[in-house]
Amino acid sequence: MTTNRTLVIVAHPNLTESRANATRLAEIKDLDNVTVHNLYEAYPDFNIDVAHEQQLLREHDTIVLQFPVYWYNVTSMLKAWIDAVLVYGFAFTFDGSASALRGKKAWLAVTAGSTLETYAADGLARRPLDEYLAPVTQTLEFCQLDYQGFHAVYGMMIEPSDETLALDAKEYRRLIANRETPVG
Ligand SMILES: Cc1cc2nc3c(=O)[nH]c(=O)nc-3n(C[C@H](O)[C@H](O)[C@H](O)COP(=O)(O)O)c2cc1C
């Protein structure tokens, strides 16, 4: 079923102190056919309503996971959400029957403190960011989602200008509004 609706799952623990993620969210908040779902706001005690989350996923055909990189990983809420929501019978089976997520498009919207140069074999992070995202992308593909890539802003620790973040957020809005997906 095609719904032409995009679900943006946001997993940032402190949006009031955020620059990159908050700028992105402000830029997409008026878009039609887009549901923005803030997990830390919905579940301050990490008590995830699994049935509600699964219903939201069913009702959208493009899923965007938006989060800052924390210790080369997703934030703890996003990991809790993945573990609770993407369960056997809903997100995957072993008997050949289809996942409820089959064919939905999925992509990642990430923000990183370190620079792009840091995410290289000769940089402090020692590998590119996509290698750190592999557990998530493999999870999405295992659940038969159609993984499209990631949209990243790097170097938040060197405090990019407001203009740089505004440009990043405009590109984010453009991708979502046009139902396009990132190249990365
Ligand atoms: C607990 C913690 C761990 C972090 N680990 C990383 C990391 O492994 N790699 C990285 O590039 N940035 C790391 N950062 C920086 C965040 O990714 C960065 O502050 C965030 O993306 C900025 O987005 P915001 O302005 O929306 O908060 C970390 C930040 C915190 C608070």
127 lies in a domain? yes
183 lies in a domain? no
Q: How far apart are CA 148 and CA 56, in angstroms?
A: 20
Q: Which CATH number characterizes residue 59's domain? A: 3.40.50.360
* % of the chain residues with pLDDT over 90: 94
Q: Give the domain range for residue 167.
A: 6-177
Give the tens place of pLDDT for each residue, 92-124.
Answer: 998 878 899 999 999 999 999 999 999 999 999
User: Which residues make Cβ contacts (< 8 Å) with residue 184, sequence separation at least 6?
Assistant: 130, 149, 150, 151, 152
160 lies in a domain? yes
Q: Identify the pLDDT of residue 70.
A: 98
Decide if 66 contacts 11 (C-beta within 8 A): yes
Q: Identify the pLDDT of residue 98.
A: 84
Q: Best substitution site from 38, 156, 158, 165 to test ligand 1's pocket, by max atoms within 8 Å of Cβ?
A: 156
Q: Which ligand 1 atom is nearest residue 110's CA?
A: 21
Which segments of the chain have a pLDDT < 70?
1-2, 184
**Which ranges in the chain belong to alpha helices (H)?**
20-28, 39-42, 50-58, 76-85, 129-132, 134-142, 162-177
* Number of domains present in the structure of the chain: 1
182 lies in a domain? no
Q: Which residues line ligand 1 (CB under 6 A)?
A: 12, 18-21, 68-72, 111-114, 156
128 lies in a domain? yes
126 lies in a domain? yes
Q: Identify the pLDDT of residue 97.
A: 83
